[in-house]
Amino acid sequence: MTWLMKVKTISCDELANQICSLAYHVMCIDTRSMLQYNDNHVRDAINICCSKIIRRKLQYNRISVVDLIKNNNESQEEDLWNRLHQVVLYDEASWWGDGHRFNSQHALYILVEKLKQFVPSVALLDGGFSEFAYKFPKLCDSKIKSNCPLLSISTPCASAGSINCPPTKILPFLYLGCEEDALSEDILKTCHVKYVLNASHSAVDSPYCTTGRYLRIPIKDNSSENIVAWFQTAFDFIDKVKESDDHILIHCVGGVSRSATIAIAYVMKHFSLSLD
C-alpha cells in the first residue's frame, strides 16, 4: 500500500460545492510557488510553498504547521480550527489517481501528516489548480493581471499606470514594488497600503503617506553600499506595520535590487530562516 492510498482525494466539482456552501468550512492550501499563487489561486486559499528549510523545520517540529498557516493567513479567525471540516491541498496539475508516489521528504507528504493532527480530514485536489481554474474561473482570485509577466519575485511594475499591474504581495501585509507604485494613489488604495518604505537615495517621496507612516532609507544603487546596516531600521518599521494590522509597500526605483533585498531579509527574519 502506497502512502497516497491513505489520503483522500477530492474532485474539482466537490471542492467548488464546499467553497460555495455556507455550512461547510474548508481551507485550501496552495503548495505552488509564491509567484504562481500571486498570479491566480483558489478563492481564499493560502500559500505554503515548502522550501527545504521549512520542510526540515516541520519534520523536526521546530515550527508548527498551525503557526505556518497563521503567518500566511491575514484574516484567520481565532476559532477557525474548531470549525474546519477539511483542508484541501493542491499543486499545479497533478492527478492523484495516476499512481503517483511520494517519499517521506516530499512537501505534500509532510504537510498532510502534520495537518492530520489538527483537522478531521485532509484531501488532495485531483487535477490541481489548472483543472480547477479551467472549470471554475469565478472561484479563483487573480492578484496579478495576465498581461503582467511573472519574470521574478521583484519584477518592477515600471509601467503600472498603463497595464494595471500591482506590486507583488510577499506576505499578507507586505508588498514589493517600484517608485511608480508609491506615487500611484490608486495602487496604494487597491493594496490597502498605508505605510511606505523607500529604500533608495533618489526615488521621489510618496505624497500619500502621513507623518510616521513613511520611511526613507537612503541607499544608493551601487555595490559599495552597506545595506545590511539598515536592516534593523527597516525591520522595526515593518514590524510596526504588522502589529497595527496595516499594509506596507517597500520600494526603490525599479523594485529589483535594494527593496527586494530588504524584503528577502525580512522574510528570513519573519520565518526564522538561516542562510543554509
How high is the mean pLDDT of the chain? 81
Distance CA 42, CA 192 (A): 21
- Tell me 213's DSSP state: S
Distance CA 167, CA 153 (A): 10
% pLDDT > 90, the chain: 37
pTM of this structure: 0.52
Fold of 5-142: Oxidized Rhodanese; domain 1 (3.40.250)
Mean pLDDT of 221-231: 88
- Is the pLDDT reported for residue 225 higher than 60? yes
Residue 209 a catalytic site member:
no
Mean pLDDT of 198-202: 93
Distance CA 207, CA 174 (A): 19
Distance CA 36, CA 47 (A): 10
From the options 3.10.450.50, 3.40.630.10, 3.30.420.80, 3.90.190.10, give the CATH code of 168-271: 3.90.190.10
Looking at residue 164, its pLDDT comes to 43
What is the three-class DSSP state of 18? helix
Q: The C-alpha cell of 153 is what? A: 519575485
- Is the pLDDT reported for residue 35 higher than 90? no
- Is the pLDDT reported for residue 161 higher than 60? no
Buried/exposed code over 44-82 (b: 16+ C-beta within 10 A; e: otherwise): ebbbbebeebbbebbeeeebebeebbebbbeebeeeeee
Break the chain into its structural domains and give their ranges: 5-142, 168-271
